[in-house]
Amino acid sequence: MKIAITVSSVSPGGGLTKYVCTLADILTQDGGNEVWVITTHASSDNAELARLVAERGIKYESLGDKSTIAKYVSLARLLRRISPDVIVNNYNATTQYILPLLPRKTKVVHILHNNTPDFYRVGAINGSRVTAWIAPTPAVAEYFNEYTHGQYAGKVVSIPHAVDDTTFEHDYGKRGVPQLTYVGVLYEHKGVKILPQIIKQLRVGGHEFHFTFVGDGVLHNELQEQLRDETAAGVVEFTGRVSGKEVYRRLNDTDIFVYPTHIDSFGLVIAEAMMNGAVPVVTLLKGITDTIVDDGVNGYLLRQDDVAGFVGKISCLLGDEAMRERMGKAAVQKARECFSKQVMKHNYLQFINSLFK
């Protein structure tokens, strides 16, 4: 089967690029598919994509050096020449606009990566020519159906994304001071403004811990200033932006993953933390984070900006090593059962095959 994956750009990191690489990986594992990755805008080198091109024979085509009109013409010509059985489009408006120029026999699947109106707007362009939409969570599927007034409700399915299976063993109880970690951009919509309050209240409560901010963003300096004393005391650390491999290493060293986000479409980093044995304490986003975390079993779900709630649950975990270990192991089990690459591979191949029945 020929499968073309279209995306605006790829980069060294980022969730969308990671998804594209994961999808290309699982679709070529058994050597039965010819997979193309096509970008329409300027891109940067990505080591994982380069590996897949070299080892799996994935074909990569970039149209980023072309003018706007030339992109449309070149993409239409390329896709007509390739004649893929399936196009998997990832928030790429160029692809959506040229769908009427492609053979109707080609199945078109659009991935809804985010729960924001522009993602739904792009996904709905030439919607009559789209075979199906995939949402990573039930909430995103519901929001898209609301945006499109239920016009495509029968064609929207929910399939969760996958995370890399960890290659580390989590050393429960062997590190001494418990490790707390936040991973993500340092923007207001990720809820990070309440983290200094949480950290300070945990210290007032007499808890020993080390808190690491992994990531960068416009609030970096503000957070660093608020936590100047804690940073000087070695309680808080800011890593800035790091590689995906380093993120996984940090998560494997983590006991409690603190993620007070306001917005998410899936919560990939939550699943990554769980795969590495960290207990997630995160915001409840109905139909999104509650599809990953089972409250009280393998993590905790709190109301948005509920500082007292976050402090309370983290305090319980800091005060009970046995509970941290029990819930951490339950988190790994949930991640492996629901969010591994093998599970995603099974779900996607089953779905793609169903398009031709």
pLDDT tens for residues 54-93? 999 999 999 999 999 999 999 999 999 999 999 999 999 9
According to the model, what pLDDT value does residue 15 have?
Answer: 79
Pick from 214, 210, 229: nearest CA to 314? 210
Q: What 3 state SS string does the chain have?
A: CEEEEEECCCCCCCHHHHHHHHHHHHHHCCCCCEEEEEECCCCCCCHHHHHHHHHHCCEEEECCCCCHHHHHHHHHHHHHHHCCCEEEEECCHHHHHHHHHCCCCCEEEEECCCCCHHHHHHHHCCHHHCCEEEECCHHHHHHHHHHCCCCCHHHEEECCCCCCCCCCCCCCCCCCCCEEEEECCCCHHHCHHHHHHHHHHHHHCCCCCEEEEEECCCCHHHHHHHCHHHHHCCCEEEEECCCHHHHHHHHHCCCEEEECCCCCCCCHHHHHHHHCCCEEEEECCCCCHHHCCCECCCEEEECCCCHHHHHHHHHHHHCCHHHHHHHHHHHHHHHHHHCCHHHHHHHHHHHHHHCCC
According to the model, what pLDDT value does residue 37 have?
Answer: 98
Q: What is the C-alpha separation between 275 and 248, in angstroms, rounded?
A: 9
Please report the domains of the chain, with CATH numbers, ordered by start residue. Answer: 2-162+340-354 (3.40.50.2000), 179-338 (3.40.50.2000)
- For the chain, give the percent of residues with pLDDT over 70: 97
According to the model, what pLDDT value does residue 164 have?
Answer: 83
Q: Sheet with 300-302: list strands edge to edge.
A: 236-240, 210-214, 179-183, 256-259, 279-283, 300-302
CB 189 within 8 A of CB 304: no
- Please write the tens of the pLDDT for every residue from 184-243: 999 999 999 999 999 999 999 999 999 999 999 999 999 999 999 999 999 999 999 888
Pick from 331, 322, 317, 324: nearest CA to 275? 331
Q: Sheet with 59-62: list strands edge to edge.
A: 59-62, 34-39, 2-7, 86-90, 107-111, 132-135, 156-158
**Global confidence as pTM:** 0.88
Q: What is the C-alpha separation between 202 and 311, in angstroms, rounded?
A: 6
Residue for token pair 């993590």: 299
Please count the other Cβ atoms lying within 10 Å of the Cβ belonging to residue 264.
25
According to the model, what pLDDT value does residue 172 have?
Answer: 66
Show the CA angle centred on residue 56, arms to residues 52 and 62, nearest 5°: 50
Total residue length of the chain: 357
355: which 2 tokens? 């398009």
The series of mean pLDDT values per 10 residues for the chain, 357 residues long, is: 96 84 92 94 91 95 95 97 97 98 97 93 98 96 97 96 77 78 95 98 97 96 97 96 87 96 91 95 96 98 98 97 95 95 94 94
254: which 2 tokens? 């983590």
According to the model, what pLDDT value does residue 176 have?
Answer: 82
Q: What is the C-alpha separation between 22 and 182, in angstroms, rounded?
A: 23
According to the model, what pLDDT value does residue 14 have?
Answer: 74
